[in-house]
Structure 1
Amino acid sequence: MNKAALILALVAAPALAEPDAHALERLVKQDCGSCHGLTLKGGLGPDIRAQALAHYEAAALQAVILDGVPGTPMPPWRPLLTDEEAAWIAEYLLDGDRE
């Protein structure tokens, strides 16, 4: 699935449906990884592995995902992700026990 198709699939998903874990994991690895490094160890953006994010609450990460960080390259994903999807991504990043 290409990037545009993945984003369209995420946007078209019914609001009440559970987040599509497989699609969101792919989004993290491909889209987040394009700035944060393919292993999420950092690149243009900082390290976003669990040990680097351990001092953050999930709600704070969710807000960064949805609203971006003004004055930095971190874009807002609110136009493309639901609150539930952003919460899933935040928990996924904080969990870190997936490799």
Structure 2
Amino acid sequence: MPLLAPRRLLLALCWIPVTALAEGTLSTEREKELETLLYQDCGSCHGMTLRGGLGPALPESRMNAYSREGLAALILHGVAGTAMPGWQGLLTEEEARWLADHLQNDNPLDE
């Protein structure tokens, strides 16, 4: 019986998402790559300055209508029935959260 508590602790720790353990591990170089991806790749539809194009403009006010996790999920999974693709095959969850945070807090675009 004395091993029961450590086993439960071990099982509980196994359920912690790997991304939660790795949060904040993006290098400055990777953050710069993600910013380039945002303005180049996302910009191919949303406009190079994110002011809109084929896709809508992405001002902070619009991005803050979503939670950080909700916006990251939108980035990863796309929007069904639209031209917005999911980026899950190219981005990790942490990278999508970084992009969401950038769009919500460091976005130079005003409406």
TM-score by length of 1: 0.77
Q: CA separation of 1:81/1:97 partners in 2, compared to 1, >3 Å: closer, same or farther?
A: closer
Q: Please tell me whether the aligned partners of residues 59 and 107 of structure 2 are also in contact (alpha carbons under 8 angstroms).
A: no
Q: In the alignment, which residue of structure 1 is the partner of 2:97?
A: 87
Does 2:59 match 1:25? Answer: no
Q: Please tell me whether the aligned partners of residues 40 and 47 of structure 1 are also in contact (alpha carbons under 8 angstroms).
A: yes
Structure 2 segments unaligned to the other structure (5+ residues): 1-21
In the alignment, the residues of structure 2 paired with residue 68 and residue 59 of structure 1 have an alpha-carbon distance, to the nearest angstrom, of 14
Q: Which has the larger radius of gyration?
A: 2
Post-superposition offset of 1:74 = 0.2
Q: In the alignment, which residue of structure 2 is the partner of 1:55?
A: 65
Task: Spell out structure 1 runs of 4+ moving beyond 4 A.
Answer: none
Question: Greater RCO between the two (CA within 8 Å, min separation 6)?
Answer: 1
Instruction: Say how many residue pairs are matched.
Output: 84
Post-superposition offset of 1:69 = 0.5
Q: CA separation of 1:97/1:64 partners in 2, compared to 1, >3 Å: closer, same or farther?
A: closer
Structure 1 segments unaligned to the other structure (5+ residues): 1-15
Q: In the alignment, which residue of structure 1 is the partner of 2:3?
A: none
Q: Please tell me whether the aligned partners of residues 66 and 76 of structure 1 are also in contact (alpha carbons under 8 angstroms).
A: yes
1:83 partner amino acid: E
Q: In the alignment, which residue of structure 2 is the partner of 1:75?
A: 85
Q: In the alignment, which residue of structure 2 is the partner of 1:11?
A: none
In the alignment, the residues of structure 2 paired with residue 36 and residue 76 of structure 1 have an alpha-carbon distance, to the nearest angstrom, of 15
